[in-house]
Structure 1
Amino acid sequence: MKTHSLLCQAQQTSFNAQSLIFIKKPSPFSIPAFHISFTNPKSPFFKARSRGILLTACISHGTQGLTGGTGSGNVGNIASVSSLQKEEEEEEENQEEELQMEVNRQGLENESLWKQMKEIVVFTGPAVGLWLCGPLMSLIDTAVIGQGSSIELAALGPGTVWCDNMGYVFMFLSVATSNMVAISLAKQDKNEVQYQLSILLFIGLTCGFVMLFFTKFFGLSALSAFIGSKNLHIVPAANTYIQIRGLAWPAMLIGWVAQSASLGMKDSWGPLKALAVSSVINGIGDILLCRLLGYGIAGAAWATMVSQVVAGYMMIDSLNKKGYNAYALSVPSLSDLKTIFGIAAPVFVMMMSKVAFYALLVYFATSMGTLTLAAHQVMIQAFFMFAVWGEPLCQTAQSFLPEFFYGINRNLTKARMLLKSLAIIGTIFGLVLGIIGLSIPWFFPNIFTPDQKVIQEMHKILVQYFMALAVTPCILSLEGALLAGRDLTFASLSMTGCFSLSAVYLMLVRDRGYGLSVCWYALVGFQWARLALALQRLLSPKSILFSEDLSQYKLKELKTA
């Protein structure tokens, strides 16, 4: 009877959903109140569980105790209000989850930023020496030869354009090797790495012999056309230099492939040891052949050639010690060539534009006379010497970012964090390099030449020299990210555009009597344009850093569910 009276009373009284929920007594299996403190009431798990208990209680009592028409209406009201309440709470949960994800992401970025910067420094520290050795050899040649003859010093300008800058034409081998090896390792496929090495080494060897024969049979004609009729007196010295150094083309290109493979494996110590030995050989050879035996520019060329052959052999040996057979060469199939061409063609255009720009600077400097050309040779070699300190940042991007773009551990948030670290390091490093690089030709120009007229020409372009050098590391880190993400079409088109605008500028102002500063203002514009274009591209929503963010897609799927 007591139970019957309670049921009748429930039929006569109208309750809203909220009041019914709160007067519902907890079931015998409810968690005691003193246990609540051990569970976060804001957590999604706790909310979902609590909401399920209350809703079940309402429906249960409405169906079991309310049998009349009023009871049925109350059940409908309860279900409707509970459904709305459930939707509101789910929306609040989604907002809280989004906020928590954002907080966690920011916390991860702040926590990992210094850790990533430390890893970058550990990798780039030895890698600095890799790019430092080449320009260091040329700078040693410049300093040694400059002490003896201004004509031979001037001849080094077109000579190094042919031997060093022309090497950038084959930089596609380095980029393709590093990119393909890093991606294959991210997929944990060692057999694919071995096969890629064998075909890339074959291509490098083939290109090396092509350049050797081209230098042998067409080097003199190309130099004569490049130098022009006004400075034919420096052609014999320049030709001697390129013919001797041309013997090292096969070893040099094979060494580049092996070096890039090691860097793609995140090993910078093996290549550093090889280039350190080659630099010592080059330095000793320059002193012995040029200063003591008096062979001049020919002695410098022999020293550099021998050092490059030794470096190539040691690079190959370094790969063999990692468990790969670097002596195994494979002829690439059409499919392999198509894959490599897809990477190499845009990189080739990119590097050709860069090489053409620096060659154009030498060409215009050549037309200004021997002393001006000698000053340009000293400053451009000093520029290359310090600019390559930023190359490890480019290589770091190419070695580490593919793992976050394509690998098993794909994570675009970490990719953005890594690029942020690279940009910060590049900015700071650029300012330091600019200051140090400026001080040497300013305070110690006699290291390169005792000719006061050449030194005067050097001092006229110190400001432009600093402006171009200071932004170089940051440029290289951003362009490395573009290469790692295989945004190659944009990279090649932007470099071509920068070259074209600079060439137009040089042709418009070359005859206005501004001297060597014209060439160096063109270099400043070239560098800053590259920085602006790369930065704009990477910050674009279409960038690989943002356009394929799987975490955003997963979040949308959760919202839909």
Structure 2
Amino acid sequence: MFTGPATALWICGPLMSLIDTAVIGQGSSIELAALGPGTVFCDDMSYIFMFLSIATSNMVATSLTRQDKMECSIKYLSCSCWVGLRHFDASIHKILWFMGPNCFYRSKDVHILPAANTYVQIRGLAWPAILIGWVTQSASLGMKDSWGPLKALAVASAVNAIGDIVFCKILQVWYCWRSMANNGVTISVPSSNDLLEIFEIAAPLFVMMISKVAFYTLIIYFATSMGTITLAAHQVMIQTFMMITVCGEPLSQTAQSFMPEFLYGANRNLAKARMLLKSLVIIGVILGLFLGIVGTSVPWLFPNIFTPDQAIIQEMHKVLVPFFITLAVTPCILSLEGTLLAGRDLKFISLSMSGCFILSALVLLLVSSRGYGLSGYWYALVGFLWARFFFALQRLLSPAGILFSENISQNKLDKLTVA
């Protein structure tokens, strides 16, 4: 009941980028290649700043287990909105307008650059609304309400379908704000203690998110050196991957919304927490296989949806096997990492993610130097995902982990109570 509506929330953004890819690909292979760095730059930049959204959801869900109820949740929402607008919106605009996707290109690719820059600059106009939308949406999910944001997003997506992304975001923010208006939500300047608490949670999350984004960015950086055809094929496959894998994000959100009650709540029950994780992993396995089969079938059987160019289609078909593996394993990874986030095992998850990035980046360098091509880069992505899976699984199954150690859970609870 919770995960179903939440799935639609995660699909909407990547779906819009995938629609861009499908429409542009029908007209121009060059512009399709330009969308590669363009969409990756915008989507990955947004993915980096998802740490603010995750932190908001985490703080709201945890505050409710401490019987702080709506008052504390509103405080966290207000602080996160202020931080997002005050600091990160300006930073994003500077990066989008002054650097853009230029860093991806070599001299032989300059013919692609104007189209990519135009795409990035137009999408950058929506950033203020995007940041507020994320924070308010995450606050609702932290309160275990996935239907309210879904209703707003349904209206927003309909407007987006006719091309008006600015009004799309305004409507989303308006609905989320209206649902909390009776509780006195405002954007206020947070105290130093509030900022410190946000920083303690957000800093490790930032490291985690930027490690993910850096790896995906490295892949497309190397792909640009292989020519327009290969870059266009990678754009189709990576955009499809991004859209499909977000279907597993609600499993992570479910863990973050419901797990704190079992880990920190007045009726703390680690056995129920372990049972919830088991259920999420089982669902993740089933969902992963389903997404792998359905997702791989689209570029395999219906590649003309994206492009009529047979050379691009042949490049797409070379990576179908690693493409399937990445889709199949991602929902389980998100279930495990969502549980670690719910347990605020932030130091471990940030260190493990950065470690996976470093090792996988070395693999990418090896693949590039040996000339294994696009399939080599996708197998490097497979290794990156499986490394994350095994690190998270080992941590959660450890006797000293958050799901087994009473002492660790109690220490965390005491720390939260003091805060």
- What range describes the TM-score normalised by the shorter chain of this pair? over 0.9
Partners of 1:207 and 1:253 within 8 A in 2:
no
Structure 2 residue aligned with 1:201: 81
Q: Residue 478 and residue 208 in structure 1: after superposition, are their counterparts in 2 closer, same or farther (change >3 A)?
A: same
Q: Which residues of structure 2 form unaligned runs of 5+?
A: 411-419
C-alpha deviation, 1:212, in angstroms? 5.0
Structure 1 residue aligned with 2:375: 517
Q: Residue 132 and residue 432 in structure 1: after superposition, are their counterparts in 2 closer, same or farther (change >3 A)?
A: same
C-alpha deviation, 1:319, in angstroms? 3.3
Q: Work out which of the residue numbers 155, 180, 200 in structure 2 matches 1:319.
A: 180
Q: Deviations over 1:387-428 (max 9, x none)?
A: 000000000000000111111121111111111111111111
Aligned residues: 409
Partners of 1:205 and 1:251 within 8 A in 2:
no
Q: Residue 138 and residue 319 in structure 1: after superposition, are their counterparts in 2 closer, same or farther (change >3 A)?
A: farther
Structure 2 residue aligned with 1:254: 132
Q: Residue 232 and residue 262 in structure 1: after superposition, are their counterparts in 2 closer, same or farther (change >3 A)?
A: same
Q: Residue 488 and residue 409 in structure 1: after superposition, are their counterparts in 2 closer, same or farther (change >3 A)?
A: same
SS at match of 2:403: coil
Structure 2 residue aligned with 1:404: 262
- Of 210-219 and 184-193, deviating more is 210-219
Write the letter of the residue equivalent to 1:315: C
SS at match of 1:409: coil
Q: Deviations over 1:136-190 (max 9, x none)?
A: 0101111111111111111111111221111111111111111110111112212
Whether 1:462 aligns to 2:320 is: yes
Structure 1 residue aligned with 2:48: 169
C-alpha deviation, 1:311, in angstroms? 2.7
Q: Work out which of the residue numbers 144, 150, 158 in structure 2 matches 1:280.
A: 158
Write the letter of the residue equivalent to 1:127: A
Q: Work out which of the residue numbers 298, 304, 307 in structure 2 matches 1:449.
A: 307
Whether 1:529 aligns to 2:390 is: no
Structure 1 residue aligned with 2:71: 191
Structure 2 residue aligned with 1:74: none
Write the letter of the residue equivalent to 1:345: A
Write the letter of the residue equivalent to 1:131: W
SS at match of 1:511: helix
C-alpha deviation, 1:206, in angstroms? 2.0
RCO comparison, higher one (Cα < 8 Å, 6+) = 2
Distance (Å, rounded) in 2 between the aligned partners of 1:452 and 1:338: 54
Structure 2 residue aligned with 1:40: none
Write the letter of the residue equivalent to 1:279: S
Structure 2 residue aligned with 1:310: 171
TM-score (norm 2): 0.94
Structure 2 residue aligned with 1:154: 33
SS at match of 1:193: helix
Structure 1 residue aligned with 2:93: 213
Distance (Å, rounded) in 2 between the aligned partners of 1:216 and 1:169: 13
C-alpha deviation, 1:363, in angstroms? 0.4
Structure 1 residue aligned with 2:232: 374
TM-score (norm 1): 0.71
Write the letter of the residue equivalent to 2:169: Q
Q: Work out which of the residue numbers 249, 265, 286 in structure 1 matches 2:143.
A: 265
Q: Residue 382 and residue 493 in structure 1: after superposition, are their counterparts in 2 closer, same or farther (change >3 A)?
A: same
Q: Residue 178 and residue 550 in structure 1: after superposition, are their counterparts in 2 closer, same or farther (change >3 A)?
A: closer
C-alpha deviation, 1:226, in angstroms? 2.3
Partners of 2:367 and 2:377 within 8 A in 1:
no
Partners of 2:263 and 2:409 within 8 A in 1:
no
Alignment root-mean-square deviation, CA: 1.7
Partners of 2:402 and 2:409 within 8 A in 1:
no
Determine which structure has more spread, i.e. the larger CA radius of gyration. Answer: 1
Distance (Å, rounded) in 2 between the aligned partners of 1:306 and 1:207: 23
Distance (Å, rounded) in 2 between the aligned partners of 1:356 and 1:372: 20
Distance (Å, rounded) in 2 between the aligned partners of 1:164 and 1:551: 35
Q: Which residues of structure 1 form unaligned runs of 5+?
A: 1-121, 286-302, 553-561
Whether 1:365 aligns to 2:223 is: yes
1:136-147 → structure 2 map (5 Å cutoff): 136-147=15-26
C-alpha deviation, 1:313, in angstroms? 3.1
SS at match of 2:370: coil
Distance (Å, rounded) in 2 between the aligned partners of 1:317 and 1:227: 44
Q: Work out which of the residue numbers 289, 298, 305 in structure 2 matches 1:440.
A: 298
- Of 407-416 and 252-261, deviating more is 407-416
